[in-house]
Structure 1
């Protein structure tokens, strides 16, 4: 497959002036597609980028499946033009996409993961909060904080110590038997799986500070591609152990989320995983 070349003057390349989506395809069909399209449209509208037509967006996934599971990455930039930060008079958005085969990390569903708290703090910018814009330098810098392959994710808080998200996943926790996720009205990415779980009433928003995190009953990180990873071990910024949580099955959050994603409830690498 020949991929389109991005010109040197593309504003997405130059300024991060655009949005993107990462979509799970099951047998060639997008999972949680309505949520992905809604977030893409919201992001374009927030940035003032003309929204590509629905036919063009749908064409990014239509065609023969190359594997039972694939990941579609879809990027919309404002296109080229404008002088410096000034916008072009008539922007012509550029829509790019790529499909790759995919397999989830099933062992992490079963055994849970180790996560650490990141030193970097997320800045507040309500105008960009929730959307998946192309400027993700805070997340890139946070991911540089560890190289230990036993650490699966890093948790990000804002300057006030309120937990927001993981570097590429949303955060969930249980307290008094209820499931929660942080509000994302000042920063962070509102994941599509998170949105679907909130819409179903399975999860609700609540604040959680860094200091209070070790005292919660359970914790998870999740997104719409990898599914739900229970957190087994929580590490500090200095990689000291702060908490260990038991990994119990059945897992209520994982069961509800994986039903939405079409993942089997039995955690094996058998073909049933992809039905």
Structure 2
């Protein structure tokens, strides 16, 4: 079926040549918007694509009214060039869609089960941190399970370092401090992760799976769903590697900060 809105020779379709953002919108207002725009600009600059204007949401057609919605914004290099060689003067193509959204509130309170993935992320510093369109590693990792009871899969890089999950960043509390994986070789630097690092002392570390085993609590989160506590960590065969109790009120400081940024309720009230 042909999509008349995206030409066959669009470089985003052909090569994943572009970037995207997924933004939580509350009552018509995009949240963490400055951080999303900054990451979009970093991605465009890294790839050499002219970036859209900062005030783009004001021109979005069909933008959400009251309630929660998700805005997905895609920027491709457009058409042109010869094979992999991009055009000298790209004419970017922008696509966006706003859809209603409801978060998984039970996951906030009760926590989730996650697993380790077999797939290993390639280390490519030139693409690290940005949200580029070529997400085949994440797609392949997500194909590893179809059990709805498993919420996410943990991704390591080819050197065995913990990086992220298939669609969320990782955080844990260990030896009296908050930690999150370094993302200088691969992975997506989430806007919620950035906002939390501005508010709380979160150490950026290079660590293996053993760090998760040593953690008092483990969390996964992004700028759409908020922060979920992890109750069980399974290996790729489904065998439990570690389990954690429901976090106490004092252990939810990171979640409270995340939900304040996104307008979600504090669970310590």
TM bin, normalised by shorter chain, reads over 0.9
Partner Cα separation in structure 2 for residue 63 and residue 245 of structure 1: 43
Q: Matched residues in 2 for 1:114 and 1:267: separation?
A: 22
Indicate the residue corresponding to 1:271 in structure 2: none
Shift, 1:252, TM fit: 1.2
CA deviation profile, 1:191-245 (whole Å, cap 9, x unmatched): 0000111122342211220233212111000000000010000000111001110
Verify the 8 A CA contact 2:63 2:98 in the aligned structure 1.
Answer: no
Following the alignment from structure 1 to structure 2, what is the Cα–Cα distance between the partners of residues 243 and 30?
A: 37
Tell me how far apart the structure 1 counterparts of residues 153 and 168 of structure 2 sit (CA, whole Å). 9
Aligned residue for 1:230, secondary structure, equals strand
Distance in structure 2 (CA, Å) of the matches to 1:144 and 1:5: 28
Are the aligned partners of 1:109 and 1:267 in contact in 2 as well (CA < 8 Å)?
A: no
Residue 111 of structure 2 corresponds to which residue in structure 1?
A: 112
TM-score (norm 2): 0.94
Q: How far has the Cα of 1:63 moved from its partner?
A: 6.2
SS at match of 1:247: coil
**TM-score for the superposition, normalised by structure 1:** 0.92
CA displacement 1:33-72 (0-9 Å, x = unmatched): 00000000000000000112234x2335576634400000
CA distance in 2, matches of 1:60, 1:143: 34
1:46-101 CA deviation, whole Å, 9 max, x = no partner? 0000112234x233557663440000000000000011001113210001100000
Q: Which residue of 2 aligns with 1:19?
A: 19
Quote the Cα distance in structure 2 between the aligned partners of 1:31 and 1:233.
30
The residue number in structure 2 matching 1:10 is 10
Structure 1 residue 266, shift from structure 2 partner:
4.2
Partner of 1:152: 151
Q: Are 1:168 and 2:167 an aligned pair?
A: yes
Spell out the pairing of 1:20-99 with structure 2 (5 A cutoff).
20-55=20-55, 57-59=56-58, 61=60, 65-99=64-98
Unaligned runs of 5+ residues in structure 1 are 269-275
Segment of structure 1 superposing worse, 195-204 or 133-142: 195-204
| Alignment partners' CA distance in 1, 2:33 and 2:260 | 15
Equivalent pair of 1:113/1:232 in contact (CA under 8 Å):
yes
Q: Which moved more, 1:58-67 or 1:101-110?
A: 58-67
**Structure-1 separation of matches of 2:89 and 2:63:** 35
- Does structure 1 retain, via aligned residues, the 8 Å contact 2:50–2:92? yes
3-state SS of 2:209 partner: coil
Distance of aligned partners of 1:206 and 1:66 in 2 relative to their CA distance in 1, 3 Å threshold:
same
Unaligned runs of 5+ in 2: none
Any idea what the Cα deviations from partners look like across 1:113-158, whole Å, max 9, x if unmatched?
A: 0000000000000000000000000000000000111000000001
SS of 2:139 mapped into structure 1: helix
Q: What CA distance in whole angstroms lies between the structure 1 residues aligned with 2:107 and 2:131?
A: 25
Residue 216 of structure 1 aligns with which residue? 215
Aligned residues: 265
Mapping for residues 238-257 of structure 1, pairs under 5 Å:
238-250=237-249, 251-257=252-258
Shift of 1:177: 2.5
Give the Cα separation in 1 of the matches to 2:212 and 2:66: 39
